[in-house]
Amino acid sequence: MKQLNFNIPFSGFESTNFINCFTSVYMYLEGMKDNNFTIKTTFCNEWENGQCDSCGNCKTKPHAVQERFFFLFDTMCGRSALRNHFDGTHSRAGRMIHNSETSDGVTDNNVEFLFGFAGYDYRTVLDKASYNEEITASIDADKPVIAKLKSNSNVSCAVISGIDGDRLIFPDFRAAQKAPDPDTTYNDIDALFIIGNKCEPKYKLIDGLKRIEHVMSLNLNENIWDEYCKKIGTYGPDSLGEDKPEGRKRRMNRLAGEMWHTFNCHNFAEVFRAYLPGSANKDVYDGINDINKLASPEISEYINTISWRYGYTHDLAWSVIGLDECINWDDWKSHYYGDMLEVIILKLKENDEAVLECIKNIIRKL
């Protein structure tokens, strides 16, 4: 049996999609496993022993640092700027990042960008006959393996931290929203990502910003928020106001579902907020690639705007979710709720437009 001491947590903001797995593996490779990371970290009693000792130092705990890194990779690859169509399908940008209608982040395009941004070589292995040999060699080299799982699996990816004959060994996935089945076998694997040497990053901050700009521009060019206005507004042949109670309820529920997805604005904003004056989080990012360029004084006004605009989007999303839980759609007055909801949707669109303009300005300045 060969097994790594992989004690890195996973983000509770997602299942074990590719970005979540990639983040934890990156932290392992960068030295978190030895508690000798670039950032001073202290291991968490609650995580290891199931009991919080109220040390109050959560920002230095591995799970808090992992969350910050997850936000960074999630944002730089463009995923935290994605918006879905009213029918729930991905936008063109979403198809660039996701293989399916789930939020897996495991397209060749996205995987290549993230390894290039983090500064690691990698290989994709598709030959099932070589899986055992490849995993064994990687574990021997003190490198975990990221496995892309088949589409019938309950999650898209897993981290392999050991091997015992034909049995795969996985780390502790307890914090993730969903994790691979404990009985995952070679037959459940679609591909392996074998990590090579650390290298000069192929992509820099400016490439991540341009990728974000591309994603946000595609969202707005596809008129995604206008779709929601037509479906949720009071007036029009295919509108909330013209639908029956059950139909109005379904429309509102779909809007609320998109608000849960739009909470990715929190991930997005937190990366830029790290460089607001007085932030205690910028040290988390300063050693990664050239992210510390976000500390440039000439872009501080744009970072402030991103922070409050997406703070506003975050709060509006909660208001829609709350309304979805309490509206009585049998009340005849619910025909007119579309007017109010349309105002919220237009404000969400306005916030996206303002943030996109900030990203463009930051690119110009840098």
pLDDT digits (tens, 9 = 90+) for 188-239: 999 999 999 999 999 999 999 999 999 999 999 999 999 999 999 999 999 9
* pLDDT tier for residue 314 given thresholds of 50, 70 and 90: very high
- Residues 6 or more apart whose CB falls under 8 angstroms from that of 267 comprise 13, 70, 71, 74, 75, 80
Q: Letter for the amino acid at 190?
A: D
Which pLDDT belongs to residue 31?
87
Distance (Å) of CA 189 to CA 17, 152, 155, 288: 14, 10, 11, 31
* Residue 47, SS3 per DSSP: helix
pLDDT beyond 90 at 186:
yes
Dist. CA 250–CA 233, nearest whole Å: 14
Which pLDDT belongs to residue 290?
94
pTM for this entry: 0.92
* pLDDT tier for residue 131 given thresholds of 50, 70 and 90: very high
Which among 221, 304, 228, 217 is positioned nearest to 259, based on CA atoms?
228
* Residue 148, SS3 per DSSP: strand
Beta strand extents in the chain (DSSP E only): 2-3, 120-125, 145-149, 157-160, 162-164, 167-169, 189-198
Distance from CA of residue 222 to its chain's centroid? 22
- Residues 6 or more apart whose CB falls under 8 angstroms from that of 37 comprise 27, 30, 31, 65
Backbone φ and ψ for 53, nearest 5 degrees, come out as -105, 15
Percentage of residues in the chain with pLDDT exceeding 90?
Answer: 81
